[in-house]
């Protein structure tokens, strides 16, 4: 079994962040490990606070993993401070793991700053060049590139700009498009679009975390970038289509729907 590491923030209610990543790694048949960068106070209704973890403790967590266990892929999620970014980048440059998937998390759906705006330059200069795949949503790609993005043509232009910043593969997510939810992948040579109709649901908490950790798990299993992204797109589409109506706000995606259905236990456990 391949071992996959997430470096990200904790989401109390389990729909996004570290918790979503570990569920996804398990659902994809990989062994999940975590380095926690921040602890958020969060539920389906919003993010209400955040405590950043001391950069030395972040580096200690990374050392604990890399000095002991082989790592086949790394997903990076919430990194809120400049010091957090430098601490992580220094350690990844030291250990040089393959298959780094960077989800440049910036603002939660509820509008909370998960990355401090002044950390943008450090993200661009230290983490983007280390990324084998980067997965910005439209608002994140707009912050990184400084351009307006609202259709496939502007998604392609943004992907090309982010590629020039050093990421080897750029996946611009279309969850924030007006009509369908089509994503666009650029590998430096060709553009691939991954079409999907928009699923009408309010329960989309953790979609970006789930997608990026699924890509990391499938790169770890030896898939190509295009194969890993296609697998992740199918996985997130099913997870959204069967999302869980938990809490009073935006419910989480359903990480295990396909596994539970195949095991014949979904009808028994769903309520
Ligand atoms: N309502 C939806 N129906 C179908 N796919 C969606 C929907 N919302 C998001 N997605 C897909 O979920 C993935 C995550 O995208 P997005 O929600 O934009 O990320 P983020 O959580 O970072 O904002 C993408 O593949 C996107 O196309
Ligand atoms: C701790 C933590 N990390 C990341 C996010 C963002 O999750 P994402 O899947 O991008 O989208 P929303 O859940 O914010 O809709 C988060 N909320 N918490």
Domain ranges, ordered by start, for the chain: 3-269
The per-residue pLDDT for range 156-204, each reduced to its tens digit, is: 999 999 999 999 999 999 999 998 999 999 999 999 999 999 999 999 9
CATH fold for domain 3-269: 3.40.1190
Which atom of ligand 1 sits closest to the CA of residue 135? Answer: 22
Does 14 participate in catalysis according to the annotation?
no
Does 204 participate in catalysis according to the annotation?
yes
Q: Which residues contact 74 (CB under 8 A, 6 or more apart)?
A: 4, 5, 6, 7, 92, 97, 99, 100, 101, 216
- Other Cβ atoms less than 10 A from the Cβ of 271: the count is 4
Radius of gyration of the chain (CA): 17
Hey, whose CA ends up nearest to atom 10 of ligand 2?
A: 208
Hey, whose CA ends up nearest to atom 15 of ligand 1?
A: 175
Question: What residues are in contact with ligand 1 under a 6 Å CB criterion?
Answer: 137, 173-176, 181, 183, 196, 198-199, 204, 207-208, 211, 233, 236-237, 240
| pTM of the complete model | 0.98
The per-residue pLDDT for range 9-54, each reduced to its tens digit, is: 999 999 999 999 999 999 999 999 999 999 999 999 999 999 999 9
């Amino acid at each position: 079994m391949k071992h996959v590491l997430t470096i990200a923030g904790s989401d109390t209610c389990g729909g996004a962040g570290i918790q979503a990543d570990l569920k996804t790694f398990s659902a994809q048949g990989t062994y999940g490990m975590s380095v926690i960068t921040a602890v958020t106070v969060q539920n389906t209704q919003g993010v209400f606070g955040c405590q950043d973890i001391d950069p030395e403790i972040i580096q200690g967590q990374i050392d604990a993993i890399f000095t002991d266990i082989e790592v086949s892929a790394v997903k990076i999620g919430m990194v809120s401070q400049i010091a957090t970014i430098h601490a992580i980048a220094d350690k990844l440059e030291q250990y040089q793991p393959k298959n780094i998937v960077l989800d440049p998390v910036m603002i939660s759906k509820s509008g909370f700053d998960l990355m401090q705006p002044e950390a943008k330059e450090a993200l661009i200069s230290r983490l983007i060049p280390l990324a084998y795949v980067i997965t910005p949503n439209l608002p994140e790609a707009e912050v990184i590139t400084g351009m307006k993005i609202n259709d496939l043509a502007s998604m392609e232009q943004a992907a090309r700009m982010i590629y020039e910043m050093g990421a080897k593969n750029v996946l611009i997510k279309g969850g924030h498009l007006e009509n369908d939810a089509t994503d666009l992948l650029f590998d430096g040579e060709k553009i691939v679009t991954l079409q999907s109709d928009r699923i009408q649901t309010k329960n989309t908490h953790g979609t970006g975390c789930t997608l990026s950790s699924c890509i990391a798990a499938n790169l770890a299993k030896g898939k190509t970038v295009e194969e890993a992204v296609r697998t992740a797109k199918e996985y997130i589409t099913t997870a959204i289509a069967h999302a869980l109506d938990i809490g009073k706000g935006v419910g989480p995606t359903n990480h295990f729907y396909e596994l539970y259905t195949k095991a014949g236990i979904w009808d028994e456990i769903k309520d």
